[in-house]
Structure 1
């Protein structure tokens, strides 16, 4: 049996992640994964599988969170479905490939690159460095490549891709509100492909805890989803009431937090 204190922790994590998903167009994995690691350790999950279960469960929860937040963004006409359509093939391919090799190669080099990328983008947003007016979204090949990269990295760190897709779109002169709304929609194919990959990778793993479906822990997923789906629309509505410059500062702070967290994780 899972005690009520753990269930309440799952719900608390889902509440925070859901609000962030709606507000910033991110999946909330950067909040969910550290909390899940803490709860799983307290439940004495096997150390060899703990991170995989946390990432797999985080991606599974993002399937629901992204749908909840993108509905509100769609109502505000903030989702560019043309971008979603063009980037999704690369997202699906990159995410699936990433899940299958995540457990086979060291992620240190990729994490180091990602940390530098996050700090650069956060500084650009904080200093309000605007993209050149002539810069536009790339063609079909470029969009597939961008989607592949975003999906690949997202599968390694269990996020919905907003930390990369929002900067990518704002660099290409997509308005901030539209970039956040579109990022919420992009999080769905990342989450679907990532969940499938982690389920398949964990299917034959030994010593998994009870109630695991591959590397997805169903009780924690249920707690996360209930709270995140309820809170995501509130975050999405808040995003459309805040000025663009405020959103940029919030997003910059969010990227710094991710980067610092990953930096300390890499140095350990």
Structure 2
């Protein structure tokens, strides 16, 4: 279908409505608070149930699945300009061991998943795409944004189902990490073996409901330009969008120069943000 500006507006409106609904549910439903599900996940579950793949109550366009690939480029483009510069020697001593451990786990998930697929699954289902094993790590390590980018890269190479499978992997990964992870936390907090919690119920109310009481609220806005010239928020949105746009065009250029290789826009947006 041809996507008009009003179609995009309707998609954005219903996404916003679902996000607000997810925030309210998180604030009011005690069992949801116990699961610690973020409002965005709740909104996604509602969207799946009420959207075209559910009962069809929400008229999302057929482009709804392309938005995560765009938004992850925006996020990665914003990271370099929003992060304070630190000296490598100072941070290496503090997080070096943790970084090494996480990199080992990450490489193991990418590599083992791919080898498992190539050596076993592809021998059982001969028509399975050779990159199937990468979808596990794409979802479990990167989340929906990375899964969207990796799935989009597969789609450009002719494997259209890769995007849906990657997003499914990401959804399962997020739910498992929250539900199973919290089960471990609750179990060991009751045994008194956690460092920061004596009991899980001792968490502050704002962490359970997501609503910060008035006496604990802090300002999150810093004006860098005068609003008489341009609104500061609009200016920063423009800067981040320019960076993400640069990543997109670099990705398209790479696709033109090397048709058999697809570099996700989000990784190139990160480099543009660094520049």
Per the normalisation by structure 1, the TM-score is 0.31
**Larger RCO of the pair (alpha carbons < 8 Å, separation 6+):** 1
Which is greater in Rg? 2
The alignment's TM-score, normalised by the length of structure 2, stands at 0.30
